[in-house]
Amino acid sequence: MDDQEALQRTLNRARRALQILEEEKASYGIRVPVDLQIELEEKQKEVTSLEARLSQLQGKRTLAVPDNLPRYNDVFVGRKAEIARCMEALSPEERGWGVAIDGIGGMGKTVLALEVAHLARKQALFDAYLFASAKTTWLSTEGVRQETLALSSLDSFCREFAKGLGQTDIVKMTDSTERRCALLDALRGRRALLIWDNLETLNTEEREMIAEFLRKLPTPNKAIITSRRRTGESALTIRLDRLSETEALELMQAKGRAYPRLAQELNATKSEILTALYEAAGGNPLALDWTLGHVAHKGYSISVALERLRNAANSADLYGFLFADAVQTLTKNDRTVLSALAVFRTPATTAALADATNLLLTEIQVAVERLVTLSLVNDLDGERFGLHPLTRTYIQAAMDETDTIETQPLAGGIHFDSAAQREVLHYWVDYAQKYGGDDKDAYQTHDKLEAEWQNLEGVATTLREMAGIPGTLKDRQAAQMLIDLENTLFNFLFFRGYWDEVVRLGEWTYQAGMALSHWSDAGRGASHIVWIYYNRAETERAASWAAQMAEVMERGVSRRDRAIAIRFQGIIADQRQNWAEAERLYQEALAIYRELGEEKDEAIALNDLGLVARSQGQYNHAESYYKQALAIEEKLGDKEAQANYCGNLGLLALDRNRPTEARSWYRRELGLAQELKQQNLVASAQSGLAQVLEKEGRYAEALPLAHAALEIRERLRAQNLEFSRQLVERLRHKAGIE
């Protein structure tokens, strides 16, 4: 009660201060000083944070307290001194950013971090509790490969934490540096606990980037990181060592309470044998847990388990031995589930595993129960299951038949049938094709792709590694699956602002198409890269890829592909303001499209010609081209194209000083763009409407629209970014805002 009363008093004071600031703001009208606005926003965050913490102490679990902490159905013993030191480091009085827990593998670093986080949750120390784990790596014949498309693992962490805080705008940003700064800004005035797990999987540069981020973490936010490497600058460092013998015996008894078979064996075993078991495991909690799982599930006696553990201790790779020993008796279904989970990058439900593997739900349930008992799979909150990163590494090595983990041999010669992995990869490609593509209504299912983007991203990387690109082609089927995946994801990635990912996947598709001698596929991948660089006004990069696209398209037999290559050469000429060359190329492409009866492509070419005509001041010709293109798309029902052409007609109306006509076109564009969630077109319409209001002298009304457009274009690094900045500054000046 004392804690609640103290927090309530603090909240009351903060609310009074907020009220004073709000009254002061109201006195300024529309010209609110910047420093007052910043102070007001920070005080609002403080009040929200205090309210969230108070609700925790009152036993209320509300959406105001973001919390994605895993809840493992397992036991925790010992580590009392370490917990006390961690809790002290997380108090606001401590100046450091938090706690770094390091130590060798299997010592329970993650479990300790989560135990501390849950204790902090009970004491309502923070207003958010967010957990994310570093993406692991796996071995191929070329060496260690990363599993994700992210430019850095820091960026992946930032995405996850922003998502947990409900900051969707930050998640959608396309520039990693901007995302990092935006997340730090979002944390100011808050009191969040961020847990960064398994940082030993990252390279030196990535760890240094995370260390730099943590040094800038606004107080009183705190972080806990776990790693096998020392990274505790500006934080309390906990070096996690072996369990004491007393703690190890407590762990054995606690596990025995969960498994009657194990309890029976423990009760029948002499104390000196249990001590010997502790010594053979080196006090390592994971080694003990794994060994006790064999007793519980396989029917071993403690003495037999001890002998096997002693043999493992003589191996250069204890965990490799334990993994190999654990999977020796697994059924085909067990191995299939393990192979499937190695593909999933997020925890999977039994229903999802059944869909991906074509096993019956009951077969999945039996398999995961065995795998959890053997500590090969983590049983997570909400009946979801995931792999320990170490286990994922072993399974990948077993499927790749490398027989090594880093430089050590994979003991036991264990191999997994890669057919199960391939089946799950097919599942995700089929998923993308079901909810993606370029159908006019595909935008309605983009939320499905957004929800599973981490899995789809991992599948793309896995397929690339299997295919062996760049380099000698190793797997034709994997290369084709990668092409199919990229092709079906393009619109989703472009609409939602994943422009960097478009470039990365487009390059991989180009490489896969070249390796397969599938010129059309290679050209399509190149065209997607051109489109991003064109939309960012990076003309020379766009030109380079357009030349590569044209080269491969010339090798094909499709006249439509060649027409597309011609059209892309035209947009480069257009961006270089070579109007005559652009018009010549567009007319050439238009003739081919009309000959082939490709109405959609015809509309695109007509719009292109309208752009050239408008750029040269030929407004009547431009209007004719735009309206012809719009009429075709109205017939075909493509809302994205309609929005685009309406925006062009709005811009043309502004050129003619017809603001009323322009407003009508821009409103239509905005409605369609918002329905589609096509960020680039939303910005176009907002910017256009702001210009209409500017012409009418309504500067204060125009400014919010111009600001909104600028924010989107900054995230996308779009080609009209500088124009948007100038528009905002001009409107601020005209509205009298300094």
> What CATH number is associated with residue 493?
1.25.40.10
Question: Would you say residue 147 has pLDDT above 60?
Answer: no
Q: Could you give the number of structural domains in the chain?
A: 5
Q: Which pLDDT value is given to residue 719?
A: 85
- Write out the residue range of the structural domain in which residue 23 sits: 2-57
Tell whether 543 and 591 lie within a shared domain.
Answer: yes
Tell whether 458 and 403 lie within a shared domain.
Answer: no
Between CA 579 and CA 167 the distance in angstroms is 43
The two three-digit tokens of residue 664, written as one number: 């009508």
Three-state DSSP at 387 gives: strand
Residue type, 629: A
Domain C-terminal end among 314, 339, 364:
314
H helical segments located in 268-330: 271-281, 285-298, 302-313, 318-327
Query: Which pairing describes strands 222-227 and 236-239: parallel, antiparallel, or unpaired?
Result: unpaired
Question: Would you say residue 115 has pLDDT above 80?
Answer: yes
Domain C-terminal end among 314, 339, 367:
314
* Lowest-confidence segment of 434-448, 589-603, 660-674 by average pLDDT: 434-448
Kindly report the CA angle at 714 between 711 and 719, in degrees rounded to 5? 120
The two three-digit tokens of residue 250, written as one number: 């407590």
The two three-digit tokens of residue 681, written as one number: 């077109």
Tell whether 223 and 255 lie within a shared domain.
Answer: no
Query: Which pairing describes strands 408-409 and 404-405: parallel, antiparallel, or unpaired?
Result: antiparallel
Between CA 118 and CA 68 the distance in angstroms is 11
In a domain, 711, yes or no: yes
Q: Which pLDDT value is given to residue 124?
A: 83
Tell whether 269 and 407 lie within a shared domain.
Answer: no
In a domain, 436, yes or no: no
Dump pLDDT digits (tens) for 8-60. 777 778 788 778 877 777 777 777 787 777 777 777 777 777 777 777 666 66
Report, as an integer, the average pLDDT of 231-258: 81
Q: What single-letter DSSP state applies at residue 458?
A: H
In a domain, 603, yes or no: yes
Question: Would you say residue 671 has pLDDT above 80?
Answer: yes
Beta bridge partners of 404: 409
| Band (490; pLDDT cuts 50, 70, 90) | very high
Please name which of 659, 655, 719, 646 lies closest in space to residue 685, comparing C-alpha atoms: 646
Dump pLDDT digits (tens) for 175-218. 888 888 999 988 887 888 999 887 866 777 778 888 889 989 98
Between CA 244 and CA 251 the distance in angstroms is 10
| Band (143; pLDDT cuts 50, 70, 90) | very low
Tell whether 626 and 651 lie within a shared domain.
Answer: yes
Do 46 and 120 form a contact (C-beta atoms < 8 A)? no
Tell whether 574 and 679 lie within a shared domain.
Answer: yes
DSSP states of 630-681? HHHHHHHT-HHHHHHHHHHHHHHHHHTT-HHHHHHHHHHHHHHHHHHT-HHH
Reply yes or no: is the peptide bond before residue 470 cis, omega within 30 of 0. yes
In a domain, 340, yes or no: yes
Between CA 93 and CA 589 the distance in angstroms is 68
Domain C-terminal end among 182, 211, 239:
239
Between CA 82 and CA 118 the distance in angstroms is 15
DSSP states of 523-585? HHHHHHHHHHHHHTT-HHHHHHHHHHHHHHHHHS--HHHHHHHHHHHHHHHHHTT-HHHHHHH
Question: Would you say residue 492 has pLDDT above 70?
Answer: yes
In a domain, 322, yes or no: no
Kindly report the CA angle at 570 between 625 and 581, in degrees rounded to 5? 90
Q: Which pLDDT value is given to residue 201?
A: 64
In a domain, 432, yes or no: no
Length of the chain in terms of residues written: 738
Question: Would you say residue 307 has pLDDT above 90?
Answer: no
Tell whether 234 and 264 lie within a shared domain.
Answer: no
Question: Would you say residue 521 has pLDDT above 70?
Answer: yes
Do 672 and 642 form a contact (C-beta atoms < 8 A)? yes
Cα–Cα separations (whole angstroms), residue 713 to 184, 260, 372, 443, 504: 20, 61, 47, 20, 20
10 Å CB burial of residue 393 (0-12, 13-18, 19+) is: buried
Tell whether 229 and 281 lie within a shared domain.
Answer: no
Between CA 249 and CA 698 the distance in angstroms is 76
In a domain, 429, yes or no: no
Q: What single-letter DSSP state applies at residue 138?
A: E
Report, as an integer, the average pLDDT of 411-421: 68
Dump pLDDT digits (tens) for 525-553. 999 999 999 999 899 999 999 999 988 88
Tell me what the pLDDT averaged over the chain comes to. Answer: 83
End-to-end CA distance of the chain: give it in Å, rounded: 49
Question: Would you say residue 319 has pLDDT above 80?
Answer: no
Three-state DSSP at 369 gives: helix
Tell whether 209 and 250 lie within a shared domain.
Answer: no
Tell whether 42 and 165 lie within a shared domain.
Answer: no
> What CATH number is associated with residue 149?
3.40.50.300
> What CATH number is associated with residue 375?
1.10.10.10
In a domain, 700, yes or no: yes
Three-state DSSP at 352 gives: helix
Do 632 and 647 form a contact (C-beta atoms < 8 A)? no
Between CA 109 and CA 82 the distance in angstroms is 11
Tell whether 130 and 224 lie within a shared domain.
Answer: yes
Q: Which pLDDT value is given to residue 60?
A: 63
Between CA 493 and CA 563 the distance in angstroms is 24
| Percent of residues, the chain, with pLDDT higher than 90 | 38
Q: Which pLDDT value is given to residue 409?
A: 46
Tell whether 232 and 276 lie within a shared domain.
Answer: no
Between CA 358 and CA 352 the distance in angstroms is 10
